[in-house]
Amino acid sequence: MSSWVERMVGAARLNAATYEEVEADRTANFQALGVVVISAIAAGISMAGGGGRGIAMGIIGGLVGWVLWAGLTWIIGTKILPTPETHADMGELLRTTGFAATPGVIRVLGALPLVGWIFNLVAGVWMLAAFVVAVRQALDYKSTGRALAVCLIGWLVWFAVIAWGAILVGMSAVGFNMMNPHS
C-alpha cells in the first residue's frame, strides 16, 4: 500500500493504478479529505494573497464543492450513463475525486503577480484531467470518453445551478434595494 504522499504523486501523474488503489481502500477517506483541504488552502491563498478570509472561503468552497460534485457524478455515472460493469458507491467517488484535487496544490502560486493566472489555469485543466481519470476508475468505465461525458454533463448541471443561484441572489439584492431605497 502506498503512502499518502505517494498516492498524491500518483494521482497528479494521472496513474490509473493509484486511483484504483484509493478506490478500494475504505480507510483512505481522511487522506482524500486532506488532499481536498490542502488544495482548497492553496486556492484560498491564490484568491486572497494569503488572507485568512480567502483561505477559509477556499476550504469551505472546496469541501462543499467536492461532496456535491462527487454526488452529482455518482448520480450521472451510475444512474444515467452506467455500463454493465459500473459499480460504485459514494465513498469510492469521494476518495478518487478527492485525490483528483492533488494538482490544485499548485494554485498556491496563483498569488504571484502577473503570472499567477497561468498557474491557476494549469491547475484547473490538470485537475479536470485527474477528475476524468478518477471517474473512469471509480465507475469502472473502459472508456475515457464516457468518463469525460459524465464530467461534462456534471459541469453543465453544476454551472446551471451556480448561475441560477447567482440570478436569485441578484434578484433578491435588486428587490431589496427597490423596497428599501435608504440602504
Whether 11 contacts 17, CB under 8 Å: no
What is the model's pLDDT at position 123? 96
What is the model's pLDDT at position 56? 84
What is the model's pLDDT at position 168? 75
Give the chain's domain count.
Answer: 1
155's grid cell? 459541469
Distance CA 104, CA 80 (A): 28
Number of H helices, E strands in the chain: 7, 0
What is the model's pLDDT at position 180? 53
Distance CA 69, CA 73 (A): 6
Distance CA 155, CA 147 (A): 12
Q: For the chain, which residues score pLDDT lower than 50? A: 178-179
Domain span at 107: 4-179
Chain-centre distance of CA 93, in angstroms? Answer: 11
The pTM for the full model equals: 0.86
